[in-house]
Structure formats: structure tokens, C-alpha cells
Amino acid sequence: MNGIVVVVVGALLCFYGIRSVHLGILAIGFGLGWMIADLFNASLAWLVLIGLIGAVSSWVITSLVFRFASYFIGGLTGAMIGTKLATVLQPGDKNVALSMIVALAMCVAGAFLAEKFRARALLWLTSIGGASMVVSGLGRMSDSLAFLRDPEPGWQQVTSVLAWVGLSLLGWITQRHLFAEKLGIQHLAGGGDDEIDQSKRNGGWPTR
């Protein structure tokens, strides 16, 4: 049951992340802190503690610099995705320096995409980031699923990536249909009115 916390938080981000900016930021911050701590094989207590510190820090910083929130939120989510990607692509012992480089590269990419494409990019980022948390959490809940968190080369690596991709797509589809109006997808929201109140989209996620 060690991974139940991160599974729950990851599921919220994956399937509900675009709904609320506050929920999204807290989940992203928690997930990033957890993923980084997990690279160092930290104990459950440290994982939760660093995750909570990440959640609170992310929320405070984003609140202070909301004008640049798209960059910040996209960067955080990108870093979380990059950290998971580094884990999947490095079976066995991890090269921490390389992992940080991958996380930084994804951080920059996430920030750029979130600023340029706003809600659509955040939809993808929350789905992929949340899925990475769920997969990692499941890997801690059972020895038979441990390969999802730290796969060995071969079928474990392939299965871990496929599970991550599949869950990401499921989260994307779910959020896109549940929150079509907030994303401004009129044909899914069932509305034909061209005048959509931007302030009601994305649960407060930046749209400008």
C-alpha cells in the first residue's frame, strides 16, 4: 500500500487536473517532489514529506507569479514527466546527472508548450503527468507490479511505457469530454454560442 497516496493524487491530476487550477498545482507539485525523491530510493516517509513540500511550494510560488503561471505550471509538469521518462529509459542504476538533464529539458519544453497552446497543452501535460504518477504508485503497491516503477530492459520496459501511454490517452479522452466547455470545445460541450466566457474555462487555468 506504499503507493496508494501517489496513485490517488496521480489519478486526480490525470482525470480531473484541468478542472481546477488549485488542485492541479498541488497535484503537480506533489508529483514532482515524489518523483525526484524516488530517483534516490527515498523511504515512504521522505517521499510523502518531499511531495507535500513540493505541493505547497508550487502553490505559493504560482499564486505569487500568476501572470507567468502558464510557464511555471507547464515547466513543473514537464519536469515531472521528464523525471518519469528518465526512470523508464534507464533500467537498473540511475545516472542522476542524466536524469536531471532530461527533467530540465522536459521542463523547458513543457513551459514553452503551456505558454503557446495554453489549455490544450495543459490538458496533455496533466494527463501525461498524472499517468506517470499512477504508474509509479502502482509499482509500489505490489511486488508483482514493481517493474512499472523501475523496469528492467525488455518486456518490462515496453510494458511500463505502454501502460503509461495508455493511461495518458485515457486521461486525455476523459478530461476532454468531461470539461469540453472549459476547454472551449463547443461541439463536445453542446453549445453553439460563439461568446464563451474565458474566465469560466479551465477552472482558473491561465488563458491569456
pLDDT tens string 82-116? 988 888 887 767 787 888 898 899 999 998 888 88
- Kindly state the average pLDDT of the residues 145-153: 84
Residue 19 in this model has a pLDDT that exceeds 50: yes
For residue 135, the model assigns a pLDDT of 92
Tell me the C-alpha to C-alpha distance, in Å, between residue 64 and each of 58, 103, 179, 198. 10, 24, 27, 21
The pLDDT confidence band at residue 182, using thresholds 50, 70 and 90, is low
The residue type found at 139 is G
Q: What percent of the chain has pLDDT over 70?
A: 83
- Kindly state the average pLDDT of the residues 133-143: 87
Q: What is the mean pLDDT of the chain?
A: 80
DSSP string, 69-130: HHHHHHHHHHHHHHHHHHHHHS-SS--HHHHHHHHHHHHHHHHHHHHHHTHHHHHHHHHHHH
Measured distance between the N- and C-terminal CA atoms of the chain, rounded to whole angstroms:
41
For residue 131, the model assigns a pLDDT of 93
For residue 206, the model assigns a pLDDT of 54
For residue 198, the model assigns a pLDDT of 46
For residue 127, the model assigns a pLDDT of 93
For residue 205, the model assigns a pLDDT of 53
The pLDDT confidence band at residue 20, using thresholds 50, 70 and 90, is confident
Residue 160 in this model has a pLDDT that exceeds 60: yes
| 194 against 62, higher pLDDT | 62
Dist CA 137 CA 88 (whole Å): 14
Residue 63 in this model has a pLDDT that exceeds 80: no
Residue 24, class by beta-carbon neighbours within 10 Å (0-12 exposed, 13-18 middle, 19+ buried)?
buried
- Kindly state the average pLDDT of the residues 198-206: 49
